[in-house]
């Protein structure tokens, strides 16, 4: 049944009701690619154990299980359960995984995103050149752990704040409780971080490293799909002047929560929702232009369900559907 909401209040009637779908949302290129690789290799008779989660989405995890793909927390757990095929997820893994697989005689299916591989090899190269490696990111995240492992040195650390690195002075200013960074420091980033926050971190770190003949290398390794997603959200806010932003993604999806947070910080009423039932009718009654965005693990059909829900409440369907289809898209790397 179609529920048509009452007209928006007088102040809003100058703006027609509209759904604006972000130009970039949902699965990123690397997650789509990884799912394709694993699903093509899947067979219920020859089960695959991805080490870690292929994706943080309960519906997709269930579909994969029916295809013989079930994530295991680590290599040993997969071996204990007798798996003969294991997969590396889009986040990547340290170099030991390929060695372990070869030693155990199991097939390795590698779906590491090439944009993560780039960061891993960059960290390795810079470490070999004598730099202390700093990774701007979450130290518990599998991608960050994989980059630390590939750097192949104990002189590497992940941090979200410069203070977490344990350095609080330049080399000219060391003393009691004042610790300076090494002379050569290189900075890379977890691929999904916010570019503005990375730049602020880089400036603060550079100011500690550079004085007294220091060397600072900074490689912005935030991936192109992530940057585009962040820009697409900004366009919803600034160009489309959305009144309301719905960020769709599993409740545990931190990148979806972050999208809603950015919207709210910019002064746009924004909500992190998991499914259409989470949308309160009063949000729609007072807001004409609704922006739709979604986290990196949100499947297209879930985004479509949210759009259908809005259409059933009197919003015209977005002209171009939920995403421009470009099967040949490959990000720069
Ligand atoms: S590096 Fe970027 S494109 Fe690749 S999986 Fe991560 S977020 Fe997706």
Give the closest residue to 24 by CA, choosing from 323, 282, 277: 323
Checking if the pLDDT of 323 tops 90, the result is: no
Residue 218 near residue 187, CB atoms below 8 Å: yes
Sheet of 18-21, strand order: 18-21, 289-294, 244-248, 269-273
Return the ∠ at Cα 286 (arms to 285 and 288), rounded to 5°.
90
Q: How far away, in angstroms, is 190 Cα from ligand 1 center?
A: 10
Nearest CA to ligand 1 atom 4: 30
Residue 120 to residue 151: CA distance in whole angstroms: 7
| Residues 190, 208 within the same domain | yes
Q: From the CB of 190, is ligand 1 less than 6 Å away?
A: no
**CATH code assigned at 77:** 3.40.50.11270
Q: CA–CA separation, 288 vs 216, rounded Å?
A: 48
Final residue before a domain boundary, out of 202, 218, 234 = 218
Whether 160 maps to a domain, the answer reads yes
Give, for ligand 1, the residue of 32, 35, 113, 332 to mutate: max count of ligand atoms closer than 8 Å to Cβ: 113
> Predicted confidence band at 296 (pLDDT cuts at 50, 70, 90)?
confident
Based on the structure, what is the number of domains in the chain?
A: 3
Q: Which atom of ligand 1 is nearest to the CA of 29?
A: 3
Catalytic choice (7, 81, 107, 143): 143
Ligand 1 site, residue 244, Cβ cutoff 6 A: no
Total length of the chain: 333
Same domain, 204 and 280: no
pLDDT, tens digit, for every residue of 229-274? 889 999 999 999 999 999 999 887 778 888 999 999 999 999 999 9
Place of tokens 């900074």: 218
Q: Is residue 2 part of a domain?
A: no
Please say which residue of 154, 189, 218 terminates a domain. 218
The rounded Å distance from CA 281 to ligand 1 centre is 34
User: Minimal CA–CA distance to 22: which of 306, 332, 312?
Assistant: 306
Ligand 1 atom nearest to CA at 223: 2
User: What's 299's domain CATH number?
Assistant: 3.40.1010.20
Q: Is 305 among the catalytic positions?
A: no
Helix (H, G, I), strand (E, B) or coil at 128: helix
Distance CA 160, CA 37 (A): 32
Give phi and psi for 121, each to the nearest 5.
Answer: -70, -35
- Nearest C-alpha to atom 5 of ligand 1 is from which residue? 30
> Measured from the CA of 90, which atom of ligand 1 is nearest?
5
Q: How many angstroms separate the alpha carbon of residue 37 from the centre of ligand 1? A: 15
User: What's the chain's average pLDDT?
Assistant: 92
pLDDT above 90: percentage of residues in the chain: 77
Rounded distance, CA 69 to CA 61, Å? 8
Final residue in a domain of this structure, among 59, 82, 113: 113
| DSSP-based three-state secondary structure for 327 | coil
Q: Rounded to whole angstroms, how far apart are CA atoms 86 and 97?
A: 10
Q: 38 Cβ partners below 8 Å, 6+ apart?
A: 48, 50, 54, 64, 69, 87, 109, 111
pLDDT tens for each residue of 121-158: 999 999 999 999 999 999 999 999 999 999 999 999 99
> For residue 329, is it within any domain?
no
Residue 255's pLDDT is what?
81
Report the nearest-CA residue for atom 8 of ligand 1: 30
Structural domain containing residue 261: 18-27+224-312
Instruction: Tell me if 253 is assigned to some domain.
Output: yes
For residue 299, tell me if it sits in a domain.
yes
**How many angstroms separate the alpha carbon of residue 5 from the centre of ligand 1?**
39
Pairing of strands 156-159, 184-189: unpaired
Whether 173 and 190 map to the same domain: the answer is yes
Measured in Å, residue 173 CA sits from the centre of ligand 1 at 40
Is any ligand 1 atom within 6 A of the Cβ of residue 192?
yes
Which residue has the least CA distance to atom 3 on ligand 1? Answer: 30
pLDDT, residue 62, reads 85
* Beta-bridge mates of residue 178: 175
Residue at 333 is within a domain = no
């Amino acid at each position: 049944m179609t529920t048509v909401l009452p007209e928006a209040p007088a102040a809003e009637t100058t703006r027609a009701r509209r759904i604006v779908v972000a130009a970039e949302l949902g699965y990123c290129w690397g997650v789509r690619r990884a799912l394709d690789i694993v699903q093509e290799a899947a067979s219920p008779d020859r089960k695959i154990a991805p080490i870690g989660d292929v994706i943080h989405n309960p519906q997709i995890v269930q579909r994969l299980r029916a295809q013989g793909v079930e994530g295991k927390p680590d290599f040993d757990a997969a071996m204990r359960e007798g798996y003969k095929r294991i997969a590396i997820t889009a986040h990547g893994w340290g170099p030991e995984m390929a060695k372990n697989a070869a030693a155990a005689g199991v097939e390795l299916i590698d779906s590491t995103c090439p944009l993560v591989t780039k960061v891993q090899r960059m960290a390795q190269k810079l470490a070999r050149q004598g730099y202390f490696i700093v990774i701007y990111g979450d130290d518990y995240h599998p991608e960050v752990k994989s980059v630390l492992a590939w750097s192949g040195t104990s002189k590497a650390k992940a941090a979200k704040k410069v203070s977490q690195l344990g350095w609080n002075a330049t080399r000219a200013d060391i003393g009691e409780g004042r610790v300076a960074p090494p002379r050569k420091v290189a900075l890379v980033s977890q691929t999904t971080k916010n570019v503005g926050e990375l730049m602020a971190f880089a400036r603060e770190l550079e100011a500690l490293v550079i004085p007294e003949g220091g060397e600072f290398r900074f490689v912005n390794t935030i991936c192109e799909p992530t940057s585009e997603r962040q820009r697409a959200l900004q366009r919803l806010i600034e160009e489309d002047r959305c009144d309301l932003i719905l960020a769709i993604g599993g409740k545990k999806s931190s990148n979806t929560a972050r999208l809603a947070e950015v919207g709210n910080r910019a002064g746009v009423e924004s909500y992190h929702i998991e499914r259409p039932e989470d949308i309160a009718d009063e949000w729609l009654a007072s807001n004409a232009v609704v922006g739709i965005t979604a986290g990196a693990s949100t499947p297209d059909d879930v985004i479509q369900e949210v759009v259908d829900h809005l259409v059933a409440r009197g919003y015209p369907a977005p002209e171009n559907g939920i995403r421009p289809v470009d099967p040949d898209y490959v990000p720069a790397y």
